Amino acid sequence: MSERSVSKSREQKRWYDVQAPEQFDRAELGETLADEPDQVVGRTITTTLGELTGDSSANNTKLTFKITDVGSDTAYTEFIKYELTRDYLRSLVRRGASKVEASITVVTTDDYRIRVQPVALTTKKADRSQEKAIRRVMIDKVHAAAEERTFEEFVDAIVDGNLSSAVYADAKTIYPLRRVEVQKLTLEARPAEIAAEEEAAVDVDAGDVSVDE
């Protein structure tokens, strides 16, 4: 393709400003280029919490957003993932200490299914029963948080560190802890998707019913 053709192709495309959800104060996430608005929907953009808030100490937290709608020259997003950087997670690990992890799937009060992966780091090496008890605290706290929060409220509890603090407060009585973090949160299904799954399950169950003659 000639330089003139490439230039003409780019001229036909349009830039769209990408905005974070209202939960994140409609912060500017960047720009994306496309021929048509429909091409923008479904694209993802990743930034750091530090870039959104202007707090450089939060640059170890990555947030991913997915474009769900486009209006004129603006693309609107939903939050889909929270994740700590690998470098930061590596910096937390100490030789001779325990790293206790869990992967927990929960549904919030407004029917969003999310997967949450907390991690607790002890001051020294804990035994297996202590690690198991710490993991149980993490599982119970995550379930309790989901049972009383909407998706947005749950995300806020992660970003603000409130959930990590709650786990730390209970788990430190089992064995001394140095830190508790949520290393990853992922949106797995939205309310409409969960409703469709449940409807499909009902249809399958109904199909399995047999009538004896």
Predicted pLDDT at 210: 52
Final residue in a domain of this structure, among 82, 102, 123: 82
Question: Per-residue confidence at 207, pLDDT binned at 50, 70, 90?
Answer: low
For residues 97 and 123, is the Cβ–Cβ distance under 8 A? yes
* 90-123 pLDDT, tens digit each: 999 999 999 999 999 999 999 999 999 999 999 9
Model pTM score: 0.87
- DSSP tag of 115: E
SS3 content of the chain, % helix, strand, coil (to 5): 40, 35, 25
Final residue in a domain of this structure, among 27, 51, 82: 82
Tell whether 72 and 89 lie within a shared domain. Answer: no
Question: Would you say residue 33 has pLDDT above 90?
Answer: yes
Is residue 8 in some structural domain? no
Tell whether 34 and 57 lie within a shared domain. Answer: yes
Tell whether 89 and 78 lie within a shared domain. Answer: no
Number of neighbours of residue 145 by Cβ within 10 angstroms = 20
Report the mean per-residue pLDDT for the chain: 92
Secondary structure (3-state) at 50:
helix
Is residue 204 in some structural domain? no
Residue 110 main-chain phi, psi, to 5 deg: -105, 25
Alpha-carbon span 208 to 85, nearest angstrom? 47
Is residue 200 in some structural domain? no
Minimum mean pLDDT among 6-10, 69-73, 74-78, 102-106: which range? 6-10
Question: Would you say residue 206 has pLDDT above 90?
Answer: no
Provide the domain count of the chain: 2
Query: What CATH number does the domain containing 153 carry?
Result: 3.30.479.30
Is residue 206 in some structural domain? no
Is residue 213 in some structural domain? no
Domain span including residue 21: 14-82
Is residue 151 in some structural domain? yes
Distances (CA, A) of 106 to 22, 86, 116, 144, 188: 23, 24, 8, 10, 10
- Residue 72 — left, alpha, or beta (φ > 0 → left; ψ -120 to 50 → alpha)? left
Is residue 7 in some structural domain? no
Predicted pLDDT at 158: 97
What sign does the CA torsion over 202, 204, 208, 209 have?
A: positive
Is residue 210 in some structural domain? no
